[in-house]
Structure 1
Amino acid sequence: MNSLNASCCVCLNNFLVLNKLSKKDDNNIALITKIEITIPEIEWDLSFQICDPCTNLLSIVYTFRETCIKSNIIRKQRYAEPLNIENNIKSEYISASITEDVESDSRQSYDDAKHENGDDELDECQSDDNDDDINDPNYSEEDEKKVKVNVKLEIISETSKTKRRKRKPRIDKFGCEKCQNNFSSSTVLTKHCVEKHGMNSKDVKPFACTRCSSRFGNSSNLLQHIKYHDAVRSHICTYCGKGFITMTDLKIHEKQHLNMREYKCEICFKSYNTHKDLRSHKLVVHTDSQLWKYFCEMCHKRFPIKSNYDCHMRRHTGVKKFECHLCNRKFTDKCVLQRHMRTHSNVRDFKCAHCEKEYKDKRVLQIHMAKVHGIGVGEIKLPSKERKYICHMCPKAYYAKNKLTRHLYTHTGEKPFFCTICEKKFNDKSYLKQHLKKSHNIFD
């Protein structure tokens, strides 16, 4: 088989489990059908194969496209419905012969509506006018039908107005986080917290999420927060295709692509792409650590940013809620998981502008730029050349922790790296790469 066909047709990875494009999903839809509908600009061949991660991504994109098409059809139907109501009424009353019962019901409903609105005098005037019309020798049966249609439309209009007037206003319950009392408005709750609990009005967060324990100072922030529970990534980056839950997140992300660095620190004159990055810089670099807001009661360490504090606390508790779907390894922090995911891919997005070197991780590129080209030396901490990772079974020591981990495999006999073609196992990834080149003619 061609080495190109032996890799994923999307990410070109040849170390993962591959599926044929003729394979069908649970809904009996072939993968080639999904990918042709989703990306019609490319000519797809049945001999192509696709890996499991790209298959999952394809299913998400295909489902998203189908959902958009269905919702558009429903939206058009809902828009067309009100427009057809009046036409249906007119055709019902004009084309069909109206019986005496319908006539009587329509007149009675009309009289009730007039009486309810207190239009008795107007009713008498209109009755006289109608009588004059009926006694008119030119008054035809067609005119009579038109009058009845107008009566029915007036009844519907009056009924809908009455329903709108009778609709009860929505009442929100604002609960106090200190004493669990409920209040009818956020203003009353804020006043209660200030007077009864001695809180600062700026610290009161009346709007509580019903799905978690988070609270917010205004309703717009709560609505934004709820979107994260739904996790619908409908805002797509035009530069890299990454999806985001809110438009705000997308705009912040796209500023990283533009790299205009519009936000400047007035103390050290460093510039950043977003206001959030500038704020974090000021907190970390220019704020006394004793004034940092988040405090760990276990080790008495302080943190300037909540995300750093949350990550630190997970290390105390041992909670690893971020799991890799490819190898089932778990991590305490999302950014560590994202870094780990790059090890499963051959994509090297970070390229040096001064030489041909390419890297999977941004930080590794920054270290390369500082060490080789002398760019950004003061901005990034270069790894120390101290062999601080010492093997407890022999005298060997290493600069990096992952090097020590590989070395320990030689003591335990563990071989975590295996060939997907012949299932031969290795204790080092570099040995696996050499094996693929020599035995299977597969190059990284």
Structure 2
Amino acid sequence: MEVKVASPSASRRSSQTKKLVGGKRGCHVVVKVFPCKICFRPFTNGTSAHLHARTHLNSAELEKTSLFHAKCPHCQKMFFVHHHLTDHLFVHLSREERAEVAQGWRHGCYFCTKRFRVSSHLNLHLLTHTKEKLGGICHVCRKTFTSKQNLTRHGFAHLSEDEKIALVKQGRSRKCLFCQKKFPDNRAYHVHLVSHTKEKPFRCDHCGALFGLKYNLNKHKLIHSEDPRPFKCDKCDQAFSQKHHMTSHKRTVHRKLKDFACPVCGKKFGRKSHMVGHLRSVHAKIRHPSPHCGKTFTQKGHLGIHLRKLHPSEPSAK
């Protein structure tokens, strides 16, 4: 039996139908589909969809007798905190509309022209100018952070799988229902959900391209700028499109720092990705074999280069 489910759209997410096609004569049975209000996963009855939607909430949200919930009229994303909805609506405004709204905000930055609705947002923004790291330092990798919230969120990455599961059971962390990946808080979890729901609420003012994350939109905007690599290293002639790439370059190339230690053998690396690659290839013995000649590689990227160079006409290399 073949099942065909119509994909959710902004105008038809409240209820959908699916056709069950079966039998020799191809009879059609129309079944109503109820999508989850948060991730849009389809269910065959409203009760199941409602119960599933509650699994997205933490323990504090579940205890509320009258839970606020509202849907963005532009992208249909569901919100359970009013000011989260109002903050989100801002991303759907044009550049001119955002500038006009910001003019009415009370808190202006002393270093640039940006304005903010609340003082806490201004204080966070000021750290991008002063470069202060007031949040503390990670006792594991010695990385410093601009806020205690960022330090706490970062610390989640150093926990074992059992420790993460324990936090999820306590309601302090979240687990994705689609891929089972664990996240330190609601914010990180809902950012991740975009990869499953395929929402793209962030629009480029220049070309209209849509993005699921504001970070990706900001990266994209660089192609419209006069200088796509505005961050210049003051030690050499290299330039970068992202500030953190330049910071990483200066830390590892010029300062020769190696902050990431292998948890098995203690060998240190300048970048976390290099440490993870070492861990996977040397200790976990993970290998990526070529489907055509049997040659193996310690890194998936090296396998891709091999396939493009030596097996370019093979189907798996496309």
Task: Indicate the structure with greater helix content.
Answer: 1
Q: Normalising to structure 1: TM-score of the pair?
A: 0.36
Structure label with greater radius of gyration = 1
TM normalised by structure 2 equals 0.49
Whose strand proportion is higher, 1 or 2?
2
